[in-house]
Chains A and B, each alone.
Chain A
Amino acid sequence: MTSPPNGAGVGLLEEEAPPAPTIALGLRGSRRRRRRSAHQPGRPLTTPGHRGPAIGLGMVVLYMSIIVLIPLSAVVWTSMEDGLGGFWHAVTRPEAWSSLKLTIVASLLVAFINLIMGTATAWLLVRDKLPGRAVLDTLIDLPFALPTIVAGLALLSIYGTNSPVGLNLAYARSGVVVALLFVTLPFVVRTVQPVLLELDREMEEAAASLGASPTKIFLRIILPNIVPAMAAGTALAFARAMSEFGSTVLISGNLPFKTQVASVHIFNQLESDNVTGAAAVATVLLLVSLAVLLGLDLLQRWAARRG
């Protein structure tokens, strides 16, 4: 008797003849429904007799509260200690404003670049038969594992004054962008890659046999399936770029009004015993990130609906 279907072993199992009735039978044929209506709203949380999912939600919310929500609320609360006037003053202080502008613009740029290049990289790692891509695959997570100071040093060695590739991007805004690209590199790649691996090739093969060009196949069949993953990864990349501290300082020169990012400004305020001001700028970063995250979510739903 054959074993129950292993969810990921699609390709292999589908080539076998369907076996005698097992729990697997009815599932193999209709294993993957193609583009069902965009976002299924999902099952209700509590069904009679099954409280598991509700308990799960409770635990999730509890975890988020203890680790994230309560501490962040404390920060937002602290930022209000001087009232709304004080909050506004802290945020419109010339150094704060300048650093916020630089950070937001750089993060948006970096998120966009990651969207394109991250998806392309995931494609290369999954679909392309390039020799040595297994090696590249092991390298992708490394920007995360490196302490920021080492990352900054490495980038400075390559893109600094004595650049071996002749590219001097240090001590300028371009340095900030390079540092941010480095620390956000794995995000889109690692969210899109698993989805590409899961994609069922049936539709693509059918379309190809009907004469559709690779571009059309990509745009009409593959892309809609990976848009959620692309959006998820881009959101992460944006959020991460907003908060990066260490590596940008090393490669950008950290000059106020020129290359100083919001995180460094926040640090300066804390060092000057201005906790309220620091919390205020941090709160603005949070609000902007929340807005962009919600925006990306909406964009993704809209794209999915258009199918």
Chain B
Amino acid sequence: MVRTGLRISVLVYLTMLLVLPVGIIFVRTFENGIGPVIDALSTAAAMHAFQITVVVSFYAVLANTLFGVTAAILLVRYRFPGKRILNALIDLPLAVSPVIVGLALVLVYGRTTGTGKALAGIGINIIFSIPGMVMATAFVSIPLVVRAVGPVLEEIGDDQEQAATTLGAGPVQTFLRVTLPSIRGALAYGVVLALARSLGEYGAVAVVSGRLVGRTQTVTLLVQERYQNFDQQTAYACAVLLVLTAVLALLISQALRPKELKS
């Protein structure tokens, strides 16, 4: 009885909030057949945008994964002064409005600031260039890997790690041979989530990108521009492309997860 109730309420919830909206996007995209979709995605602008999105998302997700695993282990397994504050600060970036993310990065790394000028002097342009976009994308997805891995680390406990240490393994060896395999599943979920977020980010990236057509225009920026120019077909096609990329990432991650978890 409870189970049926649970099933029904969750299914209704997911249908209303997930299946219907995503479904209607697919309907709108393919209502004129698959030809126009392929055409829309083969334009130079779309292909450039996809390359830029992939590059930016890759670096942002990579950085956040390295950060996320390290931070999760530190927060769950160790104690140090300021631990609670660090824990709270990690979630904070999500609460920052996208225009403020852009503003914050421009205030510190903009071309008119000391830091910005110094970096420009050695040839590194942050704002209005790919590095700034990577930073903005990383900013908005910082907690995602940490919070996927952390609870699982807490759940499985550190018995195995302690045993390994007792038997003589160093921290790195313990990490690679004991910890990492045990968090593989959660890590996969976290990485896919961070990737999805990085693919779909618009506001923060828009501000720091300079919107240079063909150079710093991500797929989300292209979607916005195409939609505003009454080219709904391309806008929806690009959105579907992002969705399919996220789904592909999830399927790949499921292939990597231990078999027992795929039931």
Residue positions of A touching B, CB distance < 8 A: 4-12, 23, 26-27, 30-33, 36, 40-45, 50, 52-53, 56-57, 59-61, 63-64, 66-72, 74-75, 78, 117, 120-121, 123-124, 128, 130, 136-151, 153-155, 157-158, 165, 178, 181-182, 185-186, 190-195, 197-199, 214-215, 225-226, 228-229, 232-233, 235-236, 238-240, 242-243, 245-246, 262-263, 266-267, 270, 275, 278-279, 282, 285-286, 289-290, 293-294, 297
Contact = CB atoms under 8 A, between A and B. Distances in A.
Contact of A121 (B10, B98, B184, B185): B10
13 contacts: A5-B160, A8-B184, A27-B159, A60-B70, A75-B100, A149-B223, A154-B21, A182-B17, A186-B193, A190-B148, A195-B152, A238-B95, A286-B95
Contacts of B235: 149-150
A142 B258 contact: no
A131 to B, nearest CB: 11
A147 B223 contact: yes
A44 B79 contact: yes
A53 B196 contact: no
Given A5-B160, A121-B14, A139-B19, A262 B182 contact: no
A140 B134 CA distance: 24
B108 A67 contact: no
Contacts of B239: 146-147, 150
Size category of the B interface is 35 or more
Contacts of B18: 136, 139-140, 142-143, 182, 185
Given A7-B178, A181-B17, A290-B92, A43 B103 contact: no
B100 A266 contact: yes
Given A117-B13, A146-B243, A243-B96, 16 more contacts: A26-B163, A27-B163, A45-B74, A52-B170, A57-B80, A60-B86, A74-B107, A136-B18, A141-B196, A142-B246, A148-B200, A154-B25, A181-B17, A190-B193, A191-B148, A263-B98
A130 B7 contact: yes
Nearest to A26: B163
B142 to A, nearest CB: 7
- Dominant SS among interface residues on chain A: helix
A195 B32 CA distance: 43
A185 B17 contact: yes
Sorted nearest first, the 5 A-B pairs with minimum C-beta distance are A7-B182, A71-B104, A289-B95, A194-B186, A229-B151
